[in-house]
Amino acid sequence: MPAKKYRQLSVNDTPVMGRKYKDIITGFQGVCTGYTKFIYGCTRVMLESLVEGKPETYSFDAPGLLDLEDPMVKAEPARTGGPRLAPARRSAPTRR
């Protein structure tokens, strides 16, 4: 069975949050949890993965990553509060 070929990120590519990438040099695979674009064009990508049951995050240069085209994590917005129904209003006090 032939090995799958993955696209290598270029200098101009913007990493996709939640997508799985693999570093060419170390072989580390992880999900993109953040990236930083520097003023001189360097893009660093933070990859997070479970290593021995613990989350570990490492930073790599974008051109050294392979895009595994596998959106492992679906980025769904979490409920953080926001608009909600107004609380029910109490009835006016009455005399006994």
Q: According to the model, what pLDDT value does residue 55 have?
A: 92
Q: According to the model, what pLDDT value does residue 81 have?
A: 67
Instruction: Give domain status of residue 23, yes or no.
Output: yes
Q: What is the pLDDT of residues 11-26, one digit of tens each?
A: 888 899 999 999 999 9
Q: CA 59, 63, 65, 68: dihedral to nearest 10 degrees?
A: 130
Report the CATH number that the domain containing residue 26 is assigned in CATH: 2.30.30
Instruction: Please state the domain count of the chain.
Output: 1
Question: Which residue segment(s) compose the domain that 47 sits in?
Answer: 7-67
* Residue 43 amino acid letter: T
Contact status, residue 49 vs residue 56, Cβ threshold 8 Å: yes
Say whether pTM exceeds 0.85: no
Burial of 21 (0-12, 13-18, 19+ CB in 10 A): buried
Instruction: Give domain status of residue 56, yes or no.
Output: yes
Q: According to the model, what pLDDT value does residue 48 have?
A: 95
Instruction: Give domain status of residue 93, yes or no.
Output: no
Provide the terminal-to-terminal Cα distance of the chain, rounded to the nearest Å. 86
Q: What is the pLDDT of residues 22-63, one digit of tens each?
A: 999 999 999 999 999 998 888 999 999 998 889 999 999 999
